[in-house]
Every structure is written in C-alpha cells, then in structure tokens.
C-alpha cells in the first residue's frame, strides 16, 4: 500500500509526452550563457576575462562565502562577453558567455578515476563543493552546505527524492531508469559522508518501472525503495519526510531537525560523477515539454544552453505558447524571455498553451474550503490571500502562519475563484521581510 | 523544425502555479441549482403553476437586482455565475406558493441588495441572503407567509397549517389524526404530501439533491447529518417524535442547502460540525419553546452570525505544530 499525507491535489500528471522517451544528449551548443549565480546564497565573482580560452570543467566564477557554489565552463572555447544577461530566477544576473571552439575539450586532468571508498568525509565534501553541486530539483541550495549539518544535529535517515510529483516533468524518472547505478553510487557516497545507515528512495506509484529498476539497483545496499501515492506535493521535502520516515519537521524547522537529509535524483548523479571522475556539474537532464512544444523530449543539456536552443531541439513550437516556465507547472517560474539559459536547477522547460493554463478571472473568495483541505501544511490559504490582497501582511504572519507556507500551489490549483494565493503569500513574505529589515 | 511562433508580449508572467483545476464559482453555483431542480419541479407538480410563477419572480428579481447594483457601482456584472439565480430559487423554495407577486419580488430585492451587496457582494455576505429575504418577508407579512395552499391529494383537509403548525397549536395526537396514522404521516413527510413552503415538502428529493452535492464534493456530509441528527436526538430527549421532527418544516431543505452555503458557514469541517450542531439545537429550541412553529431559518441565521468566531476557534492542525 503506497503511503500518503494529509491534503494535496491530483492534477493530471501529463507525463505521457516524455515518460517513455530516453534521455537524448543535445549536440554541442555553439554558445553558452553561464550565470555566475546559479544557487541560493552569495554571488560568485568571474575568474576569467573576455578573450580568455577556457576548457570544459574549468572554474570560471567563484565565491569565498560558505553558502555559495562555484560555476564551471560547460564547453571549451573563448570567453566572448561578460555582462548582465537574462536569468530564469533572478531576472538578470552577471553571466559569462562562451563561444564554442567545437572541440569540447576537458580541463587538464579531467576526467579522472578515483576510488571513493578511500576518501575521507571532509575530502568528499570539498570535492562536492568544488564541483559546484547544488540541489537540482529546482531549489538550487548548495549541496555541500546541506551535507554539513551542525554538530548538535544527528542525521540518521537519508531519503532520495524520486517522487517527481510535478506534472509534466520526467527528468528524474528517466535518470532513475537509465542511470540507476550512478544514482545509487551517489547515494552511497552521500550516506557514507553523513555516516547514515538508513536510506530510502521515495518514488510515486505512477513510475512503476522506476520503482522496480531502483529496487534492482539497490539490492544488497540496505536501501529501501518506498512507493508513494501519486499526489502533489508528495515530493515536497516536509511531506516526503512525513510519509517515508513518519517524522514531522517542526514548524519553522529544517529536515535536519528530525535527523533527515533529502536529496534530489539528479544531484546524486552529479555527486557520483564528481567524486569518482572529478567531473563538475556542467550538464543536466531537462524535460522540454508542454502543449506548445512540437516534440517533447528529455534532453541532456549543457548549463548555459538558452531556452530557445533547447526548444528548437524539441522541434520548436507547434502552437503559440501562453506561458513559458522553468521547472514544473506547480512551482516553476514563469519567464518573460526565451533567451534565458538553462541553469543547474532547470528540471524542466515548459511551453504551455492557453488551454493548459486554464487561467480564468480572479474572483472573490467564496470560502468553499477547498484550499484548506488541499493545504499539506494545515494552513488557511483563503485568509492568507485575503490578508495579502488587503495589505495586512503582519496579520498574515502572526495569525495565519504565513511563514509555514511552502508555496506548493495546491490551494491555487484547486481554487474555484481562481485566486492567486501563492502570489499574495510571496508578496506578504517579502513585505514582512522588508518590515523586519527596517527595524 | 516547426516554425517558432512566440510573441513575448503575449506571454503571461505570473506567480506559480501555472495550471488550475476545472472548477469555477459558476460551475459550483449552477450545480447547486441543478441539485435543487427535482424539489423545485416537484413543487410545481404539487402546488401548481402559481409555484412556477413565484419561482420565476424570485429568480428574475434577484438577477435583475444584482445586475442593476453592479452596473450602478461600475463593477463587473457577474449575473451569469448562477449565484443570484440560486438566491432567488432558494428564496422561492422557502416561501408559500400563495403569496401575491410583490412579496417574492420584495424578498429577492432585500436578499440581493441588502444581505449580499451592502456587505460587498459574493463572498463577503455574513448571512445567507435567501434566508434574510425570508426573515424579512415573515416579519413584514406574517399572515401571508403562514398561509399554506390547499393540497390536492389525500390530505385535503390541511389548508392553513403545516404539520409543525398543527403540532404547535393542537398537539401531536391531532397531527397524527390529520394524517390517519403514524406510518402514513412519515410516508407523507418523506414523499412530500403535506403543506409547507414550496421547496421544503419532499424530503426524498431534497436528500437526493443533497447527496449529489456531497458526491461532487461541494458540501460536506457532516453538515446535514449533524444538523438533522441534533434535531432528532434533542427532540427525542424532550419526549417528542424525532422522526416527525427530522422530516418536518424546512429542516431538510435548510440542512442540505442553506447550512451548507459555503460563504456563510465555517471553513473547516470541524467548524462546520459545530455550526450544524448549533443550528440543530437552536431549531429545536425555537420549535419547542419559541413562538414560531418552525425555527430552521432563524437558527441558521443566528449561527451565520457566529461563523467568524467558530473559524477563529477551529483552525486546521498546522503541519509541524509543536505539541
């Protein structure tokens, strides 16, 4: 029996367009735009200047701060420009533009061959940091930080997030099917460095093939594959931990407060590649799909490939897109430019047609209670939207637990009045932060 | 490669999520109207064409009032969403079919203009508009509002009182006597062979509509079950006939269609259970101790008034709340 959590919604998973399509390596791009900031944390400073020749895997931007992640050249070639470029998360961001020399040459010494069993925990952590690995599910939090919990927190459970509960996306699904051994290896490396014995892989039931492949691949490792009910947001960290480990992350807390670390499928592949072969995070699998895309695909793309290139590789548009999104349709970010580059957290590129977004006009809340039932965090989303709409930001925080909202969007999905609840939540959070900063 | 057609100016850029379910306010409201249809059609069959006239008057007056107010205020006109239509239909279900034309019209205008739009329109009203309309009519024309039409079937004798009216004025024995015996009384109440407001008589058709709404997920089964159950339990405790009480008056109509009006009831199921129990208890209080034979309308309106309080006291359990 697959396990579940309270609340959630059941949107059509729309994975049929790409679920059966093998990962396709994109041809070498002629040009990449690599933002110096592809993570949550301090921005990096470029280490190269215009005209420099760079090799694939070479660090081109770095920061001294601990919560930051270096950026590497994803192709070999010449630095053509450094400047402000469109960014899928931050709007715009300094970026290094590299023009390919067509050779796709590795930086010196790469790839190497390393026995990870011989490495110490601290060495592995440093390798992960230097490889620029961040959470590839979309949050882009630097992985080495997540793997370095404070001393007083004992971690005893590791969960691999194979839920992929976002509709349309199949990147993690394909990675589990095709690269199961690398996923398991990354997981074993990570569990070793955390000294964790108990490992789980949570996968939604709509991916029975992935469940059996991962079971096969994890045989003899002591890792348990846990089938999960297909329900959004099954893969949200807090609900995943609740379902898999039956532990409830306290309000305002982090997974490490209940002794759990959760990692994304793609991130584990990146860890395995970095630790064994010294390969930094320069490419990733991205699902390019949506009703407006002619031939939806799972593409292995170099970081810095522009969306327009990626969509061309998926056959271009078959109809006019109404919305362009980085990530999934529930938590992804709407884009206003097609020139934005693929970054480390780009799990999907969606071009949705008007009929798919089913927008509708926003109307007053009729208190139907559907959002309250859908909220996995046990909040009253209707009140958050009303308070946000009226500018009562402090009340939203103090009386209606604004900060507990994980912005999963289940409430908005289910709302018959088409209220933009997550918009009001984001607004209220930003306003509260601004008020706090003033004090 | 297919030619890329992308007009950046037309791209919608908004906060997530980017997909929505198929539900809408209009869909919900029209579904509730549909759920009321069997009982509404039955009232035409039972009470004749005057019933249809009253229904049309109520609905047209409600919709026109909404249109006029929204035009006057320069707001978007939303008469197509079925909510004003529903208020009109519900008001019609709650009044006798013998009223002169201006009374239902007046009731609808009060319901929409005062109960709904002075509060800010759909979603902002504290009290159920149709019940406010009914309450105002009852206060304004008490005689007309308690005069019931002659039934054309087996219980011809009852021309001027509902079962609850007979109970209040002449007692339980007289009530059973009017129907012949207990079983006939239950059967008549269940199938609608009794006098009463237009839409409240046929328990079975109201339950049918209510079950449809429960199945669609628009209302929670706990509300009618708890409200009707509370009436049953309390009337039994006070030595009354609980089966008769549960099927009489406007209880079934109120419990399935008005105590479930999402705008005016608590937002959590826990809160709704409290609301329903309170409405049931107040109904019994009014029926047994009050001056009126029936109390569903006032019971629900009184509970509407405390809905914000119930909402404050019955929030959902927050994930990760420290125990």
**ipTM attached to this prediction:** 0.90
pTM for this prediction = 0.92
Give contacts of A319 with chain B, Cβ < 8 Å.
Answer: 5
pLDDT surpassing 50 at residue A204: yes
B 153-212 residues with CB < 8 A to A: none
Quote the pLDDT of residue B1. Answer: 43
Per-residue confidence band for B202, with pLDDT thresholds at 50, 70 and 90: confident
Is A4 within a domain?
Answer: no
Q: Which of B80, B113, B145 is the last residue of a domain?
A: B145
Domain range for A39 is: 17-102+280-355
Residue B258: φ, ψ to 5°: -115, -35
User: pLDDT value at position B133?
Assistant: 97
B78 and B201 in a common domain: no
Q: Has residue A244 got a pLDDT over 50?
A: yes
pLDDT at B91: 96
Q: Does B2 have pLDDT greater than 50?
A: no
Domain tally, chain A = 3
What confidence tier does B154 reach under pLDDT thresholds 50, 70, 90?
very low
The whole-angstrom separation of Cα B46 and Cα B188 is: 13
Q: What is the pLDDT of residue B30?
A: 97
- Residue B166 pLDDT class (50, 70, 90 cuts): confident
- With 80 as the cut, is the pLDDT of residue A358 above it? no
The CATH number assigned to the domain holding A87 equals 3.10.20.600
Between B210 and B148, where is the model more confident? B210
Total of domains in chain B: 2
Please state, rounded to an integer, the average pLDDT across all residues of chain B: 90
| Cβ contacts of A378 on chain B, cutoff 8 Å | 316-319, 321
Q: Would the pLDDT of B175 be above 90?
A: no
Q: Nearest C-alpha of chain B: how many angstroms from A168?
A: 11
The verdict on A97 and A37 lying in the same domain is yes
Q: Reply yes or no on whether the pLDDT at B304 is more than 80.
A: yes
With CB atoms and an 8 Å threshold, state whether A330 touches B18. yes
Pair (B117, B210) in one structural domain:
no
Q: How confident is the model at residue B144 (pLDDT cuts 50, 70, 90)?
A: confident
Q: Which residues of A touch B10 (CB under 8 A)?
A: 320, 322
Q: Does residue A5 form part of some domain?
A: no
Band (B151; pLDDT cuts 50, 70, 90): low
In this structure, the answer to whether residues A211 and A304 fall within a common structural domain is no
**pLDDT value at position A258?**
95
Q: Are A217 and A144 members of one domain?
A: yes
B48 pLDDT above the threshold of 90: no
pLDDT reading at B4 higher than 60:
no
Question: What confidence tens digit (pLDDT) does each residue in A76-94 have?
Answer: 999 999 999 999 999 999 9
**pLDDT reading at B160 higher than 60:** no
Say if residue B167 is in the same domain as residue B260: yes
How many Cβ pairs within 8 Å bridge chains A and B? 186
Q: Which positions ≥6 away from A195 have C-beta within 8 Å?
A: A121, A155
> Which CATH number do you get for residue A244?
3.40.50.11540
In a domain, B5, yes or no: no
Among A323, A355, A387, the domain boundary falls at A355
Q: Which residue has the higher pLDDT, B176 or A299?
A: A299
Of B6, B19, B25, the CB nearest to A357: B19
Residue A343 has pLDDT above 90, yes or no: yes
The SS3 call for residue B176 is helix
Q: Do A358 and B20 touch (CB under 8 A)?
A: yes
pLDDT of residue B171: 87
Domain enclosing residue B83, as ranges: 25-145
Same domain assignment for residues A383 and A312: no
pLDDT on residue B292: 84
Span A97-106, mean pLDDT?
Answer: 94
- Which of A9, A334, A370 is closest, CB to CB, to B12? A334
Listed residue (B256, B274, B121, B126) closest to B200, CA to CA? B256
Name the band, by pLDDT with cuts 50, 70 and 90, for residue B169: confident
Query: Which residue from A minimizes the CA distance to B316?
Result: A378
Co-location of A350 and A287 in the same domain? yes
The pLDDT value recorded for residue A259 is 95
Same domain, A259 and A121: yes
pLDDT surpasses 50 at B155: no
Q: How confident is the model at residue B5 (pLDDT cuts 50, 70, 90)?
A: low
Burial classification of residue B258, based on how many CB atoms lie within 10 Å of its CB (0-12 exposed, 13-18 middle, 19 or more buried) = buried
- Co-location of B98 and B70 in the same domain: yes
Question: Is the model's pLDDT at B153 over the cut of 50?
Answer: no
**Is A379's Cβ below 8 Å from some Cβ in B?**
yes
Whether residue B316 lies within 8 A of chain A, CB to CB, comes out as yes
Confidence band, pLDDT 50/70/90 cuts, at residue B167 = confident
Q: Which of residues 296-315 of B touch A (CB under 8 A)?
A: 315
Which one of A291, A323, A355 terminates a domain?
A355
Name the pairing type of β-strands A157-162 and A260-264: parallel
In a shared domain, residues A131 and A46: no
Are A143 and A252 members of one domain?
Answer: yes
Is the domain of B103 the same as that of B169? no
Q: How far is A231 from chain B (nearest CA, A)?
A: 14
pLDDT band at B152 (very low <50, low <70, confident <90, very high): very low
Task: Give residues with Cβ within 8 angstroms of A192, minimum separation 6.
Answer: A116, A121, A124
Q: Does residue B179 carry a pLDDT above 60?
A: yes
Q: Report A:279-338 residues touching B (Cβ under 8 A).
A: 294, 308, 311-312, 315-325, 329-338
Band (A307; pLDDT cuts 50, 70, 90): very high
What is the overall mean pLDDT for chain A? 94
Mean pLDDT of A221-250: 94
State the pLDDT confidence band at A359, using cuts at 50, 70 and 90. Answer: confident
Comparing CB atoms, the residue among A360, A368, A377 nearest residue B319 is: A377
Structure tokens at B131: 């019940």
Mean pLDDT for A345-351 is: 96
Helices A381-389 and A421-438 sit at what angle, rounded to 10 degrees? Answer: 60
Residue B7 confidence class, pLDDT cut points 50, 70, 90: confident
* Residue B268 touches partner A, C-beta closer than 8 Å: yes
Q: Is some CB atom of chain A closer than 8 A to the CB atom of B18?
A: yes
Over residues A194-220, mean pLDDT: 94
- B145, B176, B204 — which closes off a domain? B145
Same domain as B167, residue B97: no
Q: Work out the angle between the directed axes of helices B182-191 and B172-179 (0-180°, nearest 10).
A: 80
Name the domain boundary from B145, B180, B208. Answer: B145
Q: Kindly indicate the confidence band of residue B159, based on its pLDDT and cuts at 50, 70 and 90.
A: low
Q: Tell me the per-residue pLDDT of A19-55, one tens digit each, with 9 for 90 and over.
A: 999 999 999 999 999 999 999 888 899 999 999 999 9
Q: Is residue A179 part of a domain?
A: yes
Residue B323: per-residue pLDDT: 56
pLDDT in tens, A381-435: 999 999 999 999 999 999 999 999 999 999 999 999 999 999 999 999 999 999 9
pLDDT digits (tens, 9 = 90+) for B238-288: 999 999 999 988 999 999 999 999 999 999 999 999 999 999 999 999 999
pLDDT at site A64: 87
* Domain edge (last residue) among A246, A277, A308: A277
Given an 8 Å threshold on Cβ–Cβ distance, is A412 in contact with B20? yes
Q: Is the pLDDT of residue B314 over 80?
A: yes
The 3-class SS string of B213-258 reads: HHHHCCCCCHHHHHHHHHHHHHHHHCCCCHHHHHHCCCHHHHHHHH
- Asked if the structure places residue B195 within a domain, the reply is yes
Average pLDDT estimate for B113-126: 95
Same domain, B31 and B81: yes
């Amino acid at each position: 029996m697959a396990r579940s959590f309270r609340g959630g919604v059941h949107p059509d998973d729309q994975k049929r367009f790409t679920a059966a399509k093998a990962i396709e390596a994109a041809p070498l791009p002629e040009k990449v735009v690599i933002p110096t900031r592809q993570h949550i944390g301090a921005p990096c400073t470029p280490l190269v200047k215009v005209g420099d020749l760079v090799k694939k895997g070479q660090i081109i931007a770095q920061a001294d701060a601990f919560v930051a992640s270096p950026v590497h050249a994803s192709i070999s070639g010449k630095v053509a420009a450094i400047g402000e470029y469109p960014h899928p998360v931050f709007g715009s961001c300094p970026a290094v533009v590299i023009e390919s020399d067509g050779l796709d040459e590795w930086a010196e010494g790469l790839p190497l061959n390393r026995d990870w069993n011989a490495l110490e925990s601290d060495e592995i952590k440093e390798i992960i940091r230097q490889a620029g690995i961040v959470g590839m599910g979309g949050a882009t939090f630097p992985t080495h930080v997540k793997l370095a919990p404070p001393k007083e927190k004992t971690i005893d459970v590791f969960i691999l997030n194979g839920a992929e509960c976002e509709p349309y996306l199949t990147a993690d699904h394909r990675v589990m099917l095709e690269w199961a051994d690398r996923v398991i290896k990354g997981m074993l490396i990570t569990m070793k460095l955390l000294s964790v014995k108990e490992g789980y892989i949570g996968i939604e039931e709509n991916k029975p093939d992935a469940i059996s492949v991962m079971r096969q691949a994890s045989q003899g490792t002591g890792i348990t594959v846990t089938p999960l009910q297909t329900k959004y947001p099954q893969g949200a960290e807090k609900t995943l931990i609740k379902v898999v480990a039956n532990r409830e992350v306290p309000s305002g807390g982090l997974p490490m407060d209940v002794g759990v670390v959760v990692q994304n499928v793609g991130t584990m592949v990146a860890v395995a590649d970095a630790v064994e072969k010294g390969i930094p995070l320069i490419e990733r699998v991205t699902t390019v799909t949506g009703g407006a895309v002619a031939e939806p695909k799972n593409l292995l793309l170099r970081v810095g490939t522009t969306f327009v290139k990626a969509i061309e590789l998926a056959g271009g548009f078959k109809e006019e897109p109404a919305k362009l999104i980085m990530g999934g349709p529930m938590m992804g970010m709407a884009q206003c430019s097609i020139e934005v580059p693929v970054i480390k957290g780009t799990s999907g590129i969606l071009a949705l047609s008007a009929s798919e977004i089913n927008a509708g006009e926003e109307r007053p809340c009729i208190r139907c209670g559907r959002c309250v039932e859908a909220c996995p965090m046990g909040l009253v989303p209707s009140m958050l939207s009303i308070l946000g709409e009226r500018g009562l930001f402090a009340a939203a925080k103090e009386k209606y637990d604004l900060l507990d909202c994980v912005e999963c969007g289940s409430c908005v999905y289910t709302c018959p009045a088409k209220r933009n609840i997550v918009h009001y939540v984001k607004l209220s959070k930003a306003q509260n932060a601004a008020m706090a900063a003033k004090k | 490669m297919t030619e890329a057609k992308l007009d950046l100016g037309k791209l919608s850029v908004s906060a997530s999520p980017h997909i929505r379910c198929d539900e809408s306010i209009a869909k919900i409201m029209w579904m509730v109207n549909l759920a009321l249809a069997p009982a509404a059609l039955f009232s035409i069959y039972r009470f004749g064409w005057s019933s249809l006239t009253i229904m049309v008057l109520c609905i047209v007056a409600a919709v026109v009032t909404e249109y006029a107010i929204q035009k006057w205020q320069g707001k978007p006109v939303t008469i197509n969403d079925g909510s004003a239509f529903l208020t009109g239909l519900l008001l019609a279900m709650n009044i006798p079919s013998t009223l002169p034309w201006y009374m239902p019209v007046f009731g609808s205008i009060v319901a929409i203009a005062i109960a709904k739009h002075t509060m800010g329109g759909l979603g902002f009203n504290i009290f159920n508009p149709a019940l406010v309309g009914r309450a105002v009519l009852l206060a304004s024309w008490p005689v007309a509002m308690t005069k019931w039409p002659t039934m054309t079937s087996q219980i011809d004798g009852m021309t001027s009182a509902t079962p609850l009216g007979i109970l209040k004025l002449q007692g339980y024995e007289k009530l059973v006597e009017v129907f012949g015996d207990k079983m006939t009384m239950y059967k008549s109440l269940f199938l609608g062979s009794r006098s009463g407001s237009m839409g409240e008589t046929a328990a079975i058709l109201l339950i049918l509509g209510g079950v449809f709404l429960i199945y669609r997920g628009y209302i929670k089964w706990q509300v009618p079950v708890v409200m009707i159950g509370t009436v049953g339990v309390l009337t039994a405790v006070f030595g009354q006939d609980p089966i008769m009480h549960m099927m009489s008056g406007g209880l079934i109509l109120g419990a399935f269609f008005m105590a479930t009006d999402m705008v005016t009831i608590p937002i959590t199921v826990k809160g709704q259970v409290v609301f329903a129990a309170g409405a049931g208890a107040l109904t019994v209080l009014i029926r047994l101790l009050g001056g009126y034979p029936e109390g569903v309308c006032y019971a629900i309106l009184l509970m509407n008034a405390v809905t914000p309080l119930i909402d404050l006291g019955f929030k959902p359990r927050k994930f990760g709340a420290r125990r």
